[in-house]
Structure 1
Amino acid sequence: MNNSKRVWFDLLFYIAIPYLIWNQGKDLIGDYYAILLSTAPAFFYTIYTFIKERQFNVTGLFLVITLLARTIVDLLSGNAETMLVNQVYFMIGLAIFTFITILVKRPIGLYFFVDTAYLMGYKREDSKKLFFEQDLFKMMNWLTVLFAGRYVFLAIVKYVLIQKYGVEGYGNMIVFRQAVTWAFSILIAIYTYFIYKKIQEKTGIDNPVNPNMNE
């Protein structure tokens, strides 16, 4: 799926359809079930993308586990307000987990990077050995901080909106959530570019994530 199509599909499944379900369903089936149902398009779209792009790796596994965990939390919440508050706690939990991977010297951002490099032609064992070198390892830690920061910021934004609007502000939460996600995706992409440049300096390979293109 190319980037332009990906943006349109993201808009459709992460914002447009969930917002439509929430807006039209809250009066018919109640706030709780409308919110719960509105999460279904994003859930199935993410699973579909996972299977289609064959992300059977650390990145894909992390994505599916967090999706399933959040779905379980939502189902066990019982009412709309509790569900939204639990989602804030869930994001904080993800941020803590992400920070822990830095503390144990296994930054999850590094493994995300290894998976991306593998899909673009780099051998896992080679890239992992390279990324654990001191200078690159430090950059991988900061990359992981960005992932954790995204969860923290999402939690803060959702908490503020809950306090200000309550359950009725869920429509705004859908839009703000995706806006925050895209903003951090841009930051992560920019920082990833600097990591690539550093890899080029260390290896002398023009295209570090697909070295075979230089043959």
Structure 2
Amino acid sequence: MKKLILFDLIFYMTLPFLLWNYAREPFGDYYAMLLSTVPGLIYTIYRFYRERQFNIAGLFIIFSLILGTTVSVLSGNAERLLWNQVYLGYGYAVIYGLSVLFRKPFALYFAVDFMYLQGYPRKDSTILFSSKGIFVWYQLLTILICIRGIFQSSLKAWLLNIYGVDGYGQMLVYMQVSGWVFGGLITGGYFLIGFIVKSYVRKHYGEDVSTNPPIGVNE
């Protein structure tokens, strides 16, 4: 976990911050900002390959990378790029909210993907996690992920209004710290649900099951 936090700090905050500061003068704000996103993009792709994410989680990560990169390249200038990131963040929050509304919480399917990597059939995990007393927790966890998206997008919009493009370096720091806070809450939520699932299985089936929750969700 400590190593993961260190790598997040390096690739999502330190390197982007340095690239932003030292590339602004020779390349201008817009291209410096695009360049600053490269370490995080490469690191995310590496994490995706290393952790072997599949199905819903994997598709969502790939979709987010493609859409985010496309929007960044087509933005045209630094300020528009940042505002487009804000709108994208709200868009993802809407998607999470709709998944709760239609009773298809993304948090549940992320957990199913993780259990599949542990050798459990997707169908069995989906049925178990959809059981009464468990399903509602995945709904609540998805709502938390939705709140994270709304909060971080609102924070970025507020910082952009106050500091403008010149405050991008500060924005990186605030966004990373808030990301860690919500990441800790979401991870804790998965651990809590893991204990609930274990208790449910013991109570109804008299068996134990490995339900260690997945660490990290799109970041």
Category of TM-score, reference length = shorter chain: over 0.9
Contact 2:198 / 2:211 at 8 angstroms: preserved in 1? no
Partner of 1:29: 27
Which runs of 4 or more aligned residues in structure 1 lie more than 6 Å from their structure 2 counterparts after TM superposition? none
How much does 1:83 deviate? 0.7
- Range with greater deviation from structure 2 (122-131 or 137-146): 122-131
RMSD, aligned CA: 1.3
The one-letter code matched in structure 2 to 1:181 is G
Which residue of the partner structure matches residue 46 of structure 1?
44
The CA distance in 2 between the partners of 1:121 and 1:29, in whole Å, is: 49
State how many pairs are aligned. 208
Q: Residues 19 and 38 of structure 1 are in contact (CA less than 8 Å); yes or no, is this contact kept in structure 2?
A: yes
Q: Does 1:173 align with 2:171?
A: yes
CA contact (8 A) 1:143 1:191 kept: yes
Give how far 1:206 is off: 4.6
Whether the 8 Å contact between 2:96 and 2:142 is mirrored in structure 1 is: yes
Q: Check whether the contact 1:199–1:208 (CA below 8 A) recurs between aligned residues.
A: no
Q: Distance in 1 between matches of 2:111 and 2:97?
A: 17
Partners of 2:18 and 2:137 in 1: how far apart?
40
User: CA shift at 1:187, angstroms?
Assistant: 0.7
Q: How does 1:1-215 map to 2 (within 5 A)?
A: 3-204=1-202, 205-209=207-211
Query: Counterparts of 2:94 and 2:191 in 1: how far apart (Å)?
Result: 26
Letter in 2 for 1:109: A
**Separation in structure 2 between the aligned mates of residue 33 and residue 71 of structure 1, nearest angstrom:** 13
User: In structure 2, what is the Cα distance between the partners aligned to 1:208 and 1:199?
Assistant: 9
Could you tell me which runs of 5 or more consecutive residues in structure 1 were left unpaired when the two chains were aligned: 211-215
User: What is the deviation of 1:49?
Assistant: 1.2
Cα distance in 2, alignment partners of residues 53 and 86 from structure 1: 29
Q: Which amino acid aligns with 1:209?
A: T
Q: Distance between the aligned counterparts of 1:132 and 1:206, measured in 2? A: 18
Q: TM-score, normalised by structure 1?
A: 0.92
Query: In the aligned structure 2, how far is the partner of 1:148 from the partner of 1:6?
Result: 23
Q: CA deviation at 1:207?
A: 4.6
TM-score, with length taken from structure 2: 0.91
CA distance in 1, matches of 2:130, 2:209: 19
Shift of 1:4: 2.2
Over the matched positions of the two proteins, sequence identity in percent amounts to 43
| Structure 1: distance between partners of 2:103 and 2:112 | 15
Structure 1 CA distance for aligned equivalents of residues 141 and 118 of structure 2: 19
Letter in 1 for 2:42: F
